[in-house]
Amino acid sequence: MADLGTEKNNALKKPLFSAKARSVIAQIFKQIICIGMVVMVILPILLTVFASFKTKGDMVNTSPLLLPEHITLENYKKVLTDKYLLIGFANTGILLIVSIFFNVILGTLTAYIIERFNFRFKKFVVALFFIGMLVPTFVTEISRFKIINGIGLYKTLGAPILIYVASDLMQLYIYRQFLANISVSLDESALLDGCGYFQLFVRIIFPLLAPATATVTIIKAITIINDMYIPYLYMPGNKTQTLTTFLMNYASAQQGSWQTLAAGIVVIMLPTILLYIFFQKYILAGVTAGAVKE
């Protein structure tokens, strides 16, 4: 009777699945979650792409998940021939070039000074930078609008450029991570050889920051291309439209013409998607650089 009781207790303690079976179940569960997340991201994009090749009748008669039997490019032709689309591309290009240039120059110089030099109130200055990153921009929007309007930049490309350069401090964080991995002995060797601080920065430090610069450029470009709030608020008017404000105005003009609007969405989002696909390794490298110290 004692042996029967012991065997019964051992049977109750035995797990329902073996360790190998539990590992397989866990892997299947992880795969299901990953596939579900991919579907959630890709499905809206596919629906938009499919709709952009349909006519107005196909939008009603065919399933949103299927392409029409006869693919049409008239929607894209209508979008690409809109004169304000070219204006949007031109203005967005100007914002990208000027904003990224000043972000890179100011970001590298500021990060280099903070990482390599000791000065009074250094910790206080660094704390102010990080506080600026933590404060939501909407909290200071009224004050910022008054400043932009007061210096005469309202309704000009200078307003978003100044905001993109001054308010986004992510590049400072990325550059400091890279600089922390560059040995100080490199600076000391260059100074002993007669190199000044300016030459040291231009000829040695800045070229070594090329991966960080690529990361900052890509992240900043995607942010500017996708931003609608700042251009809409500070640059009203047809001549100062960007890609996002063009799409917003285009959506209002194309009420009921969902297939044409879908083509416009594809045209606007294609540069951002291609930019991220081709340069995603630089983004990941820049964000994770310096995260692990050996």
240 and 202 within one domain: yes
Where is average pLDDT lowest: 12-16, 65-69, 73-77, 123-127?
Answer: 12-16
Same domain, 59 and 143: no
Average pLDDT over residues 162-181: 84
186 belongs to a structural domain: yes
Indicate whether 129 and 193 sit together in one domain.
yes
62 and 145 together in one domain: no
Please check whether residues 63 and 150 belong to one and the same domain.
no
User: Would you state the structure tokens that stand for residue 125, as one six-digit string?
Assistant: 């200055």
How many angstroms separate the CA atoms of 35 and 31, rounded?
Answer: 6
Q: What is the pLDDT of residues 193-223, one digit of tens each?
A: 888 888 888 888 888 888 888 888 888 888 8
Q: For residue 7, is pLDDT > 60? A: no
Range from 93-102, 118-127, 165-174, 273-282 that averages highest in pLDDT: 93-102
How far apart CA 149 and CA 234 sit, in angstroms, is: 9
The answer to whether residues 63 and 81 belong to one domain is: no
- 113 in the same domain as 162: yes
Q: Are both 170 and 46 inside the same structural domain? A: no
Cα separation, 5 vs 14, in Å, equals 14
Question: DSSP label at 238?
Answer: G
Each residue of 252-277: pLDDT tens digit? 766 667 888 888 888 888 887 887 77
2 within some domain: no
Statement to judge: residues 49 and 102 lie in one domain: no
Rounded mean pLDDT of 162-179? 84
Q: What is the mean pLDDT of residues 34-63?
A: 84
Residues 79 and 133 in one domain: yes
pLDDT for 11 beyond 70? no
Residue 11 located in a structural domain: no
Please say if the pLDDT value at position 283 is more than 80. Answer: no
pLDDT-based confidence at residue 81 (cuts at 50, 70, 90):
confident
Domain-located, residue 111:
yes
The answer on pLDDT for 89 being more than 60 is yes
SS3 content of the chain, % helix, strand, coil (to 5): 80, 0, 20
pLDDT at 96: 92
Nearest C-alpha neighbor of 55 from the set 32, 38, 78, 71: 71
Choose from 113-117, 128-132, 257-261 the range with maximum mean pLDDT: 113-117
Type of residue numbered 277: I
Instruction: Specify if 114 maps to a domain.
Output: yes
Separation between Cα atoms, residue 167 and residue 186, nearest integer Å:
32
Domain that holds residue 132: 74-288
Q: Which residue has the tokens 């009781």?
A: 5
Q: The CATH number of the domain where 226 resides is what?
A: 1.10.3720.10
pLDDT of residue 217: 87
> Taking residues 17-30, what's their average pLDDT?
79
Q: How many domains does the chain have?
A: 2
Q: Do 111 and 47 share a structural domain? A: no
